[in-house]
Structure 1
């Protein structure tokens, strides 16, 4: 049998790959968890995003640090790789010029900082950086004062989408506390956003599928799939609170235990039991009293503490417990 010639072989179009880097930079500002955003060409909030040049850039992280500073004026501190986003049809900014057939892949990074300086400080040389509250992007994730105001409309929309489909109703009940037996799991940020996207209840879904915009849930949409990337970052951070001392990467050198609890609540979206939280912090051995007092508390001066790092003998550093809501 004669082997088929190359002319007889099925034709497969060559598809290139472009690699971009996205940064989810989280800080605390005015008792809120905030994320650093820029502006897409149409004015929509976006994450700092830039190309990876395999010829010029030595590593992903160095490239990320450089373009984030160039776009926002903001120098990054702690950084860790988050996830690689490469779904077909991503409407993300193009990493490099090229044909539309190129596959767009974005490597997301999570960065934490104690520097929540006013974004106006970065608005130089044409930059458009801002600190955007995370709960403006995901208002249904904020349970610090009880169920979010938008929750009834959100649940109604999900129920209309689910109809009598038992599988969909089970998913909804697993992600939102519809029954007394369902516990709110603050870590499942991405799953909740993806459920709302699938149900067509967020603007990105109508944009991507050319459908009418849904009724507002009081949420802020973002360019491309950047809200999905932020959801991944917030879910990762909430999970890490419990097994790594990452909260201290958001804290100044000196802080009160009330400051620390406010930070934990701002990230987790939960209202925590004050005494149980403080006992949990003391058990970790991660903080030490400084002997100084904070006088700007608006009441009785409070003792200032500092983070002392992992146990010297074991090198281990636990996270912080998130005790039952107050």
Structure 2
């Protein structure tokens, strides 16, 4: 039956960090913001090459680092009811490399405001805590209520549990289950900006992947200019993690990892004493090109204050 035919599309979560804000590229999909997406063209030798070609054609933005995220194939994902299989990718870019009418950039915390804890617990957390507790007590039985309460505490760091930045997707899925975020033509919610279909879920998947990834691979350098101060590097990691990091611990661990080297120049625009400029060590770049396994121990520290 033709109704059972599923179409395949490629979706790109293109992330950048600009002025200490993690940003995601979006395009217009009707009246809503969406992640860049397009059909898979069979003339390309691989999914990645097809996505690279499509994104560059549609957004005038060449892709650098790219990795596959997840395949989304659930029914009822699309507001028009069409069955679509979406193969999602995460790409790391620099926002200032492009200026186009087709695409725009927004902070990803506009869509998932509860994920930004750099200035402490965001105000929306109190509202979500109350709403989630109401949902938990609507479970119908004491056991189910207790189960929901445990899930809420674990995902959101309530009731003495520690906030875990890596659980971005679990938090989003819990909010969706509780009816607190909308997808696929559902009624607009008040908990962050809406996105087309389930693209906000795909964004949450990318955030969770990247937050975990920067702990064991130095992919953050894909987002950095050729030279940078250590504070700029720290602020970029903080923007992605949604947390403030301990300055001295961060610098000590960066030095231990031997990931950067001094350029011999300094930045006089820091507002105080000129700060030394660093660059990513070229040997690391070469090793990365040879094999991911060479970087198994090269990571950026996520060490809280």
What TM-score comes out, normalization by structure 1 length?
0.84
For residues 43-99 of structure 1, what are the alpha-carbon distances to aligned partners after superposition, in whole Å with 9 as ceiling and x for unaligned? Answer: x11000000122x33321121112212222211111111111111111178xxxxxx
- Alignment RMSD, CA only? 2.1
* Structure 1 equivalent of residue 90 of structure 2: 110
Structure 1 gaps, min length 5: 1-11, 94-99
Q: Return the offset for 1:204.
A: 2.3
Measure the CA separation in 1 of the matches of 2:262 and 2:97: 29
Higher relative helix content: 2
Of 227, 237, 240, 2:213 maps to 240
Of 291, 294, 306, 2:279 maps to 306
Q: Return the offset for 1:117.
A: 1.7
* Structure 2 equivalent of residue 97 of structure 1: none
Equivalent runs, 1:1-326 vs 2, <5 Å: 15-42=4-31, 44-54=32-42, 56-91=43-78, 103-113=83-93, 115-117=94-96, 121-123=99-101, 127=102, 129-163=103-137, 165-180=145-160, 182-204=161-183, 207-208=185-186, 213-214=188-189, 216-217=190-191, 219-308=192-281, 309-310=283-284, 315-316=294-295, 318-325=298-305
CA contact (8 A) 1:92 1:104 kept: no
Measure the CA separation in 2 of the matches of 1:23 and 1:213: 23
Measure the CA separation in 1 of the matches of 2:118 and 2:106: 18
Measure the CA separation in 2 of the matches of 1:213 and 1:291: 52
After TM superposition, which residue ranges in structure 1, 4 or more long, deviate above 6 angstroms? none
Change over 3 Å in CA distance of 1:24–1:213 after alignment to 2: closer
What TM-score comes out, normalization by structure 2 length?
0.90
Change over 3 Å in CA distance of 1:156–1:292 after alignment to 2: same
Q: Secondary structure at the match of 2:262?
A: strand
For residues 31-53 of structure 1, what are the alpha-carbon distances to aligned partners after superposition, in whole Å with 9 as ceiling and x for unaligned? Answer: 101011101112x1100000012
- Paired residues, number: 292
